[in-house]
Amino acid sequence: MAGFKAHFFTAAIAGGTVATSLLSVGVLTQNSLLLCFAAALLGGVLPDIDSDTSTVLTVSFTSLSLIFSFFILFSQVEHLSTIESLLLWFAVFLFFKIIVFGLFTKLTVHRGIFHSIPAAFLSLFLTTILLNKLFNLDNKTVWLVGSFLFLGFIIHLILDELASLNIFSLGGVKKSFGSAAKLYSSNLIATGTLYLATLLLYTLTPATDGIFSHLTDPITLKMIAIQFLPTDGWFSHILQG
């Protein structure tokens, strides 16, 4: 499997390239670009969250615990005193960090069903729902952010499969080949649960508002291609003052 740095920097390069391309044709704003880029970075390391000894797991769950704590705090802060708000935030943080984190590590195994293609779709749908319901972001923005997370997730799976090919070694293809970008795991219950959860979340996602048809429109693609390379010389606008 590829290492953490390889996953992180590959997701950064891919996410940054796609985000900048969409910014240049007006699909993304500067604010949404930052969200999309961050989502690509998160997606690039997210599949390894099922590794019980992973730094990704610890950092991800700590971050998520903090985020959900603030979400719940923000929804109740108008009705609470300062000390009540602090106690509520701390209680929710401990719940996610200890209870949810503990259950996740017991119920998952590394390279299990969470390290799969259907898990990428689960992450996509869950992201759109949370951003739409909790942050009240518009439909197009949440689908764009979710898609960048999906992009990073898929890149992670592909990198792991490429690493399993052992291209630059005489050892041949590793036994792990096929265990990264998979559609199911040996645990049929976990696989079935993931597919059901993914389908359920899909029914709860907001409308796409035509964002994908806009992205695949020939005019949009042509504009991206035109903007990708300079037409009047490199950095001409800056050099000419």
Query: By the 8 A CB rule, do 141 and 206 touch?
Result: no
Q: pLDDT for 3-43, tens place per residue? A: 778 888 999 999 999 999 999 899 999 889 988 998 998 88
Higher per-residue confidence, 128 vs 103:
128
Report the mean per-residue pLDDT for the chain.
Answer: 81
Q: pLDDT for 181-193, tens place per residue? A: 888 888 888 889 9
Q: Is 103 exposed, middle or buried (0-12, 13-18, 19+ CB in 10 A)?
A: exposed
Position 146 scores a pLDDT of: 95
Structure tokens at 66: 């903090």
Q: What is the DSSP string of 178-198?
A: TSSS-S--S-HHHHHHHHHHH
CA-based nearest residue to 16, from 151, 139, 153: 151
Binned at pLDDT 50, 70 and 90, residue 196 comes out as: very high
Higher per-residue confidence, 142 vs 234:
142
Position 181 scores a pLDDT of: 80
Binned at pLDDT 50, 70 and 90, residue 58 comes out as: low
Position 91 scores a pLDDT of: 85
Position 81 scores a pLDDT of: 80
Any idea where the domains of the chain sit in the sequence?
4-52+108-239
